[in-house]
Structure 1
Amino acid sequence: KNNDIGFIWLVLLGELMIVTGKTATDFVRRWLLLHISMRINISLVSDFFIKLLKLPMSFFDTKLMGDLLQRISDHSRIQSFLTNQALGVLFLSFSFIILGIVLFIYDKLIFCVLILGSIIYGLWISIFLKKRKILDYELFEQQAKNQNRTYQFITSMQEIKLQDCEQRRRWEWEDTQADLFVIQMKALKLQQTQEAGSIFINEVKNIIITVLAATAVINGHMTLGAMLAVQYIIGQLNSPIDQFMSLIYSFQDVKISLERINEIHDGKNEESNGDQVRNFKGEKTLSIDKVDFKYNPHALSNTLEGISFNIPRGKVTAIVGASGSGKTTLIKLMLGYYPVMSGKITIAGRNINEYNLKWWRRHCGVVLQDGVIFSESIARNIAVDDGDIDTERLEQAARIANIHDYVMSLPLKYNTLIGQDGVGLSQGQKQRILIARAVYKNPDFIFLDEATNALDAKNERAIVENLDDFYKGRTVVVVAHRLSTVKNADQIIVLDGGRVVETGNHTSLIDKKGAYYNLVKNQLELGN
C-alpha cells in the first residue's frame, strides 16, 4: 500500500511538472513573440518613415493622409504573419509530419484519402484568391477615404459648427461608412461561400475515412483500438490542415500589403544620385531664366510662363502681384519643391538640379503661408533642427521676431508647450514664432511668403526694422501685399497671370504708373 501511495505522489508530481513546464514555456513563448513582433514592427514602420522623408515635396501634395495611415497599418499584417502565424505553422508542421507518418503506418488508404481531401480543400481555397485580392484593394481604398474623412471631420469640428454645416458633413461621413459597409458585405459573402465549401469538403473527407475505418474493423483488418487511434490522429491532423489553408490567405494578404508598401519604397527619392553638390560655387545670388511651370501637366495654361529675373546677394527682392499670380509657386520652385518644365533656376552659379536639396534647404530661412507650428515647447518650435538648442541664438531670434517679451511673460517661458497647430496662440504670435525659426537658422538665403500679414502695424514695424539689420549680407526674397513691407525693397518684381510685367524699385515703378502703381493705389484707397 505504501508503494501505491508513492506511485500516486509520483504521478501527481509528474502532472505538476508538466503544468509548470507548459506554463513556463507559454510565458517564454509569449514574451519572445512580443519582443520579436515589436522589433519587427518598429523596424518596418521606421524604414517606411525613412523612405517617406526621402520622397520629393510634390509627393505629399497628391497623397491623402488616410492613404498613408492605411499603408502604415499594412505593416501590422506583415508583423503578425512573421511572428504569430509563421512560427505557429512551424510548430504545427512538425506535429503534422509525425502524426502523418503514424497514420501512414496504420492505414495507407486512409492516409491517401486524407491527402486527396486536403488537396481538393486547397484547390477550393485557391479559386477565391483573385476575388479576395480585388476586394482587398477596394477595401483598402475605401478605408483610406474613411480615415481621411474622419480625420477631417474631427479636426474641423469648430469650423463645421461655426459655418452651420453639421448635417451635410455628418451625411458625407455616413455615406463613406455606407460605401465601406457594402465592400465589407461583399468580402463577408465571399468568405461565407468559401467556408461553406471548405466545411462540405472536410465533412465528406471525414465521413469517407470513418466508413473506411469501420469497414476495416468489420472485415478484421483493424482492431477497434486502432480505429479509435486513427480517428484521434485524423482529429489532430485537421487542425494543422486548417492552419495551412488559412496561411494561404494570410500569405496573400501579406503579399498585397507588401505591394502597397513597395509602391512607396519604389518611389523616386528627392536625392536620387550621390554626386549632388554641397557647396556654393560663386556669389550667393539667385537667377530665374525663362522658367515655365504648371502643377497639372495636362492643364491648358501654365501657372508660370517665361519668368526671368535676378536676385542679387545682400539685397532685398520683393515679389508682388494679385492673388493667384504665382508668387508662392515661384518661392516653392526656388526651394526645389517641384522641377521646372523648361528654363532653369540658378543658385550661386549652379543649376538647382545639381544641388543636394536637403543641403540647399539647410541654408534657407523660410516662412511660408501654411507654416506649421509643432505640438512641443516654444524653444523647440524656434530651434527645430536636429541639434541641441543654442539658447543665445534662440533669444536673439526671438528678439528679432519681437516675441521674446511675450515668451518671458509666460510662467514656463521658452519651455511653454504649444498645442497642436499652435492652439492657444494668435495668428500674429504664430507668425512671429515662424519668423524666429527662420532667423535662428542663421541662413544665407531668406524666403518670406506673406510672413507679416497677420501682424498689427506696431509689431510689423518693429520686426521689419529688426530684419533690416539681419538681412545684411544675405540674399532675401519677400512675397507680400502690404506696401509697408515692400516699399523699401532694393528690387520689386511684379507678377500678373504668371508672368513678370514690371521690375524696378518703389519710386521708379510708381513713376511708370503701371501694374505696381495700380496695386499700391488700390491699397491706399482701401486704407491699407
Structure 2
Amino acid sequence: MNQDSGKAFDIRLFKRLMAHTRPYRLTFYGVALAAILLSAFAVATPILLQEIINEAIKKGDGNYLWFLTWLMLGALLGQVVSQLCFSYYANWLGESVIKDVRINLFQHMLGFRMKYFDNSSIGVLVTRAVADMQRIGEIFSQGFFMIVADLLKMLVAALVMLVINWKLALIVFVLLPIILYATRLFQKAMKVAFTEVRAEVANLNSFVQERITGMKIVQLFTRERIESEKFREINEKHQNAWLKTVWYNSIFFPIAEIVSSIAVGLIVWYGGLLNVANIGVNEFGTIFAFILLIDMLFRPLRQIADKFNTLQMGMVAANRVFGILDTNSHIQDVGTIVKENVRGDIRFSAVRFGYLDDEEVLHGISFDVNAGETIAIVGATGAGKSTIINLLNRFYEINSGAIFVDGTNIKEFQLASLRSHIAVVLQDVFLFADTIANNISLKDASISVEAIEEAAKKIGVHEFINSLPGGYGYNVKERGTMLSSGQRQLIAFLRAYVSNPSILILDEATSSVDTYSEQLIQQATEKITEGRTSIIIAHRLATVKKADKILVMDAGRIVETGTHKELLERGGYYSKLYEAQFLAEEVA
C-alpha cells in the first residue's frame, strides 16, 4: 500500500488520478475552455472601467459611455455563463471519475481473499469506498480546475497591470513574494494536517461501525460507560486533527488579507501622489482598475490556498484508495476448467495450512469422500473443522498438499465454477436487508419465486415463510434482525437448497436453532443430501449418527475415522466426545 508522503503535491499520484478522466476528454477540454473564458471576462471588467473613467467620463462622451457600459454588461454576462458551465461540468467530471474509481475499488475488494478481511477494519474499508471517494471528486469540482482557473486569472491580471502601468505593477509585485511564501508554508502544513484528519476519520468510522454492530454485547456486559469514554478519546483526537487545519487557516488568511490591503493602500497613495504632482493626469481610472486587479490577483491566491486544502485532502484520499487498489490479496484464479456437472468426489491429500505464517492449523490431513456420501466432522472447538470448509471453497490458499474434486486439483478450476457446485450453510447466517425471496435467490435471475416456493414446500418451510407479513416479499432488514436465529437458519438452508449444489456443507447449521427449526432442518437434510456429497460439521447427535463416515479431529489432525457405531465400540477420542457432549443431549 502507498504511504502518505510529506510532499505538498504528489505528481505521480496526480497523473494516475487524471488518467481516469480519459473517457471524458471532451468534458475535460470544455471545462478547461470555460476556465480560460472565465479569466478573460473577469479581467475585461477593470479594463473597461479604466476606459470609462479615463476616456468616456473625463471627456463627457455619452455615446462612448453607453458603448462601454454595454461591453461591460456583455463581459459580466459572459463571466456568469462561463462560471455556470465551469462549475457544473467540473462537478460532473468529478462525479463521473469517482463513479468509475468506486466501481473499480468495489470489484477489486470482491476478489480479496478472506485473510485480507480478517486483518482489515470494515469501518476503514467503508470510509475508503464512501467518504474518501467524495474527497477525490472534490479534486475536480473544487480543487484542481478551480486552482487552474484562479492561476489563469492571476496571470492575466498581472500582465494587464504591466501593460497599464508598470510602475504601479512593480509596487504590487514587491508584495507578492510574501504571500507566495506564506502560501507555500501553508500548503506543506495542511498536507500533514489532512493526512492526520483522514486517519482520524477512518478510526472514528471504524469505532462507531463496530460498536453499533456489536451493541448487544456492549449492553449485555454493561460496557456503555467504558465505550463512551473510548469514543470520547477518539472523538477528541478527531477534533484536534481538524483544529490543526483551522489553526493554519486562522494564521494564513489574515496574513493574506493584510498583504492585499497594504497593496491597495500603496497603489492609492502612489497613484494619488502622481495625480497631485500632475505627473499622470489620467491616473484616476488606472487607480480604480488597479484596485480591482489587485483583488483579482490576491483573492484568487487566497482561494488557491483554500482550494489547495481541498486538493490535498483529495490527494490523501486518493492515495489511500489507490493503496487498496494496489493491494494484491487475491486468490490466484488461473484455473481453466469449467464443469457444468460435478459428481462430488472429494480428496484431501496431506493438506497443511495456517491462518498465520508461524502457526499451523492443519497438520497434513488426508481423507476421501465418495460422491453422494455424507460425512460428519466432529471435534473440540479449534480442532480445524471449519478450516476444511474454507479450504475446499478456496477462501484461503493451503501451505502444502492438494485438494481434489472429481480427481481434479481445485486450483485448476475456475474459481467461480468451483464455488458454483458447493453450497454452504454457516452457523452465523448473514442475511441482506432485502426480501426473503432475494435473500434466498441472491437475485439470481434463473431462480424464480415459483421455484423458491416449490423448494420451500419440499423441505417443509413454506408454511413458516407464508406466515410472515408479505410472505416471500417480507423484508428481513439489516442482517436479518427481524427473524429469530432459527428462522434465519431455515432461510440459509433454503438458499443452499435452491442453488442445487453437487456438494453440500452444513457448518454447525443446527447448533443455535430451536427444536422446531431443528426438526425442519433434519427433514430437509435427509432430502437435500440424497444423491449429493454432504459434509456436516455438527454437534447434534441425530445428524452425526446417520453419517456414512465420521472424521474425528483434534488439534488439526484426524485422529479417528469410522461410523458412529464403529467409533463407539473403539472407545477412543470419539467415544469420550460422545459421552461429554452427545450423551447429555440424548438423555435430554
TM-score over 0.5 (shorter chain): yes
Point out the more displaced range, 222-231 or 484-493: 222-231
Asked if residue 409 in structure 1 is aligned to residue 467 in structure 2, the reply is yes
Task: Specify the code of the residue in structure 2 equivalent to 1:260.
Answer: R
Asked if residue 381 in structure 1 is aligned to residue 450 in structure 2, the reply is no
The 3 A distance-change label for structure 1 pair 445 and 111 is farther
Question: How big is the shift at 1:194?
Answer: 4.0
Alignment: residue pair count: 521
Q: C-alpha offsets along residues 124-178 of structure 1, whole Å, 9 cap, x if unaligned?
A: 3333444433333332222222112222333444443343332222222212112
The 3 A distance-change label for structure 1 pair 139 and 250 is closer
Q: Secondary structure at the match of 1:100?
A: helix
Looking at structure 1, the residues matched to 81 and 164 of structure 2 have their Cα atoms a distance apart, in angstroms, of 35
Counterpart of 2:345 in structure 1 is 285
Question: How big is the shift at 1:208?
Answer: 5.3
Do the aligned partners of 2:263 and 2:294 also contact (CA within 8 Å) in 1? Answer: no
Task: Specify the code of the residue in structure 2 equivalent to 1:49.
Answer: F
Q: Secondary structure at the match of 1:308?
A: strand
Aligned with residue 82 of structure 1, among 140, 156, 161: 140
Aligned with residue 488 of structure 1, among 546, 552, 562: 546
**Overall identity of the aligned pairs, in %:** 26
Counterpart of 1:68 in structure 2 is 125
The 3 A distance-change label for structure 1 pair 297 and 127 is farther
Task: Specify the code of the residue in structure 2 equivalent to 1:472.
Answer: E
Do the aligned partners of 1:403 and 1:429 also contact (CA within 8 Å) in 2? Answer: no
Q: C-alpha offsets along residues 455-509 of structure 1, whole Å, 9 cap, x if unaligned?
A: 3445434432332232233221111111111111111111111211111111111
Looking at structure 1, the residues matched to 297 and 164 of structure 2 have their Cα atoms a distance apart, in angstroms, of 14
Q: Secondary structure at the match of 1:133?
A: helix
Aligned with residue 396 of structure 1, among 451, 454, 467: 454
Aligned with residue 232 of structure 1, among 273, 285, 292: 292
Point out the more displaced range, 97-106 or 72-81: 97-106
Q: In angstroms, what is the RMSD of aligned CA positions?
A: 3.4
Looking at structure 1, the residues matched to 334 and 514 of structure 2 have their Cα atoms a distance apart, in angstroms, of 46
Do the aligned partners of 1:363 and 1:444 also contact (CA within 8 Å) in 2? Answer: yes
Task: Specify the code of the residue in structure 2 equivalent to 1:438.
Answer: A
Q: C-alpha offsets along residues 413-447 of structure 1, whole Å, 9 cap, x if unaligned?
A: 21111121112211111100000001111111111
Q: Secondary structure at the match of 1:306?
A: strand
Task: Specify the code of the residue in structure 2 equivalent to 1:502.
Answer: E
Question: How big is the shift at 1:91?
Answer: 4.4
Q: Secondary structure at the match of 1:270?
A: coil
Q: Secondary structure at the match of 2:433?
A: coil
Point out the more displaced range, 138-147 or 508-517: 138-147
Asked if residue 243 in structure 1 is aligned to residue 333 in structure 2, the reply is no
Looking at structure 2, the residues matched to 116 and 311 of structure 1 have their Cα atoms a distance apart, in angstroms, of 85
Task: Specify the code of the residue in structure 2 equivalent to 1:42.
Answer: K
Q: C-alpha offsets along residues 343-390 of structure 1, whole Å, 9 cap, x if unaligned?
A: 222233233333332332222111112221111111111111432542
Aligned with residue 366 of structure 2, among 308, 326, 350: 308
- The residue correspondences of 1:11-160 to structure 2 (distance < 5 A) are 32=89, 35-71=92-128, 72-115=130-173, 117-160=175-218
Looking at structure 1, the residues matched to 194 and 76 of structure 2 have their Cα atoms a distance apart, in angstroms, of 42
Aligned with residue 342 of structure 1, among 380, 400, 403: 400
Looking at structure 1, the residues matched to 259 and 75 of structure 2 have their Cα atoms a distance apart, in angstroms, of 37
Looking at structure 2, the residues matched to 230 and 461 of structure 1 have their Cα atoms a distance apart, in angstroms, of 88
The 3 A distance-change label for structure 1 pair 397 and 240 is same
Aligned with residue 324 of structure 2, among 264, 280, 287: 264
Looking at structure 2, the residues matched to 258 and 318 of structure 1 have their Cα atoms a distance apart, in angstroms, of 48
Asked if residue 460 in structure 1 is aligned to residue 518 in structure 2, the reply is yes
Asked if residue 510 in structure 1 is aligned to residue 568 in structure 2, the reply is yes
Q: C-alpha offsets along residues 81-100 of structure 1, whole Å, 9 cap, x if unaligned?
A: 21244444454455434433
Task: Specify the code of the residue in structure 2 equivalent to 1:404.
Answer: H
Counterpart of 2:505 in structure 1 is 447
Task: Specify the code of the residue in structure 2 equivalent to 1:305.
Answer: H
Do the aligned partners of 2:138 and 2:310 also contact (CA within 8 Å) in 1? Answer: no
The 3 A distance-change label for structure 1 pair 447 and 102 is same
Looking at structure 2, the residues matched to 11 and 226 of structure 1 have their Cα atoms a distance apart, in angstroms, of 16
Point out the more displaced range, 242-251 or 433-442: 242-251
Do the aligned partners of 2:435 and 2:475 also contact (CA within 8 Å) in 1? Answer: yes
Give ranges in structure 1 of 5+ residues lacking alignment: 1-6
Give ranges in structure 2 of 5+ residues lacking alignment: 1-63
Do the aligned partners of 2:113 and 2:329 also contact (CA within 8 Å) in 1? Answer: yes
TM-score with structure 1 setting the length: 0.87
Looking at structure 2, the residues matched to 286 and 120 of structure 1 have their Cα atoms a distance apart, in angstroms, of 75
Counterpart of 2:56 in structure 1 is none
Q: Secondary structure at the match of 2:535?
A: strand
Asked if residue 476 in structure 1 is aligned to residue 538 in structure 2, the reply is no
Do the aligned partners of 1:125 and 1:194 also contact (CA within 8 Å) in 2? Answer: yes
Counterpart of 2:23 in structure 1 is none
TM-score with structure 2 setting the length: 0.79
Looking at structure 1, the residues matched to 564 and 538 of structure 2 have their Cα atoms a distance apart, in angstroms, of 14
Looking at structure 2, the residues matched to 181 and 101 of structure 1 have their Cα atoms a distance apart, in angstroms, of 43
Do the aligned partners of 2:343 and 2:502 also contact (CA within 8 Å) in 1? Answer: no
Do the aligned partners of 1:380 and 1:389 also contact (CA within 8 Å) in 2? Answer: no
Looking at structure 2, the residues matched to 11 and 137 of structure 1 have their Cα atoms a distance apart, in angstroms, of 50
Do the aligned partners of 1:368 and 1:448 also contact (CA within 8 Å) in 2? Answer: yes
Do the aligned partners of 1:280 and 1:348 also contact (CA within 8 Å) in 2? Answer: no
Q: C-alpha offsets along residues 309-344 of structure 1, whole Å, 9 cap, x if unaligned?
A: 122211012111011212112211211111112222
Counterpart of 1:370 in structure 2 is 428
